[in-house]
Structure 1
């Protein structure tokens, strides 16, 4: 008597499961980057020149054009397999859940703030290369996105306890917002950033302004275009922390020749009227496949009373 309903229930569940599974997706992705390089301290290193990470992300179709989303991203050191830093959380890269639909996307948790989530398009190395990227060295000098975001220490890029909104595109224009309603012990403000981006045929622009929980501010302007196959880009960033004011200017170019991409960059940052750093850099990346590339970087960096030439070669695999 109990067998039939149980069997029918099991058969019904088995019939429904494929349908439910087809409406959900989970993706495992990431990047493993490692190279041999000489740093500004004139030391040789075997380790990541860019960043390495492992990411789990997915979505569930809720119907009527609405989807639930999630993302978990762990950052690690490819040279020894350790977590990127002991002070950073395990899911350093991202830990969000949210909704996506015709209204755009809304996420809650830890993620890149408005500025850092969009500024990469205005640097030849996508703000992702510790040797050659002017953006890596010079942008957001006085602006940790979350002054206590890594176990009490400063985080440059991400925001804890955040709310993030990205609008759909309106004729190439998108609106981006990020902030947190929380005030922790010692905070003087609530984090809030806003930006507008334009992506058109052969031209892009991004303007953003942000304030962190310590009251520091950052204003970013970026432009990019393509002329005769050459990608040209520039950015201007002003970050303020109390009485200190840092102004960073960067220029960059990229050019593709078959599977090889050539890069060049220049930039400087002035802090309180004095040059804190100036740099010029070149690089080349060669794609061995859609997922694997080898590359080389060279940069000369000038500091007050000192200078350094950094260089290295590496391999990067994405999956």
Structure 2
């Protein structure tokens, strides 16, 4: 009897610990048949990935510390499920999104997010690699979530190798407001380039930056403003970003819009010198539920104002998603982009580019499964 009682006590303690701590495996596998046509440039047909949702594999967990406190972690890796490779990361915010040196050589990296957090009634402190505040509006208020051929036009759509930390930052310290503020939400983040103080060429602060985002969501309305600044060494100069996004849920449709502004001392242009430049963009879009599916439509523009040119690209995108279940969907998207003023943007990255002022068009047909 004593042995049985001891075992029951151990099981009870183990059950209590399990109730206080949990770990979840999650992910998305998204495969896309894609064709891109670039006027005056290369065209490509390919099986790729992430046409509806970014493919990923992740682990997250939370522990209840009592007294309203909790500790958590989040490790999330991007995947190229069409060829089995992982996506690149960076350690200093100075080469964001760099490709692996050799296909398959990158290995799996937790490039999308790798954070540890402490949260309470006062909010959350989050440490590690995470999305920047200035990126969130570009994806949340885009009908395509900044994914696939329909994604909104941004600085990087026109300028190859855009020299600023855009979507994610490493070495970050962030704070998020608690979720009980009557619809108000927000976050601030500071990230470090982690260069030596005596680094040559004035690069001590290269890759260091700060961002903030504050918004209000209640009922059908969601609106947010974001600001960010990343320091850059030498001729590149500092990059300042600002954007505002909004959504209005009418029931029969969700209307979306965003306005963006990027200001830099200089920008690296593919095949040309560094030129002083400012960029401005906007998007209007909608999500329209239709039975078990959803129609997605957007129209966006990005205008890059160089010292010696005024480049502009406009994109129209139309798509449909059909949900086979809560976790599985099939989808298709068609997008067409027109360039002016010497711009040579394409509807998606990694598929070549048209000749200057040439058009670019593409479509995705894909299958997405989440778990």
Q: TM-score, normalised by structure 1?
A: 0.87
Determine if contact 1:302/1:308 at 8 Å carries over to the other structure: yes
Partners of 2:251 and 2:62 in 1: how far apart?
Answer: 39
CA apart distance, 1:10? 7.6
Instruction: Show the counterpart of 1:239.
Output: 262
Equivalent in 19, 28, 42 of residue 22 of structure 1:
19
SS at match of 1:17: helix
- After superposition, the C-alpha distances for 1:122-147 in whole angstroms (9 at most, x for unaligned) are 111122x221122xx32576999x96
Q: Measure the CA separation in 1 of the matches of 2:115 and 2:294.
A: 33
Which stretch shifts more, 7-16 or 24-33? 7-16
After TM superposition, list the pairs within 5 Å mapping 1:261-272 onto structure 2.
Answer: 261-272=294-305
- Shift >6 Å, 4+ stretches: 6-11, 140-144
5+ residue gaps in structure 2? 89-99, 233-237, 266-275, 344-356
3-state SS in 2 of match to 1:306: coil
Structure 1 unaligned blocks of 5 or more = 148-153
Deviates more, 1:273-282 or 1:157-166: 273-282
Tell me the TM-score normalized by structure 2: 0.76
Q: How many residues align structurally?
A: 305
Is the 1:138–1:267 Cα contact (8 Å) retained in structure 2? no
Q: 2:212 aligns with which of 191, 194, 205?
A: 194
Aligned position for 1:254: 287
Equivalent of 1:223 in 246, 249, 252? 246
- In proportion to residue count, which structure has more strand? 1
* 1:131 paired residue number: 149
Name the counterpart of 1:150.
none
Q: Deviations over 1:53-105 (max 9, x none)?
A: 00100100000010001000011101111112426771111110011111111
What residue is the counterpart of 1:100 in the other structure? Answer: 119
Higher relative contact order (CA 8 A, sep 6+): 2
1:200-219 pair list within 5 angstroms: 200-214=218-232, 215-219=238-242
Question: 2:182 is matched with which residue: 164, 171, 178?
Answer: 171
Q: Secondary structure at the match of 1:39?
A: strand
Q: Is the 8 A contact 2:134 2:166 kept in 1?
A: no
Number of the residue aligned with 1:301? 337
Distance 2:365 2:312 in 1: 27
Q: CA RMSD in A?
A: 2.6
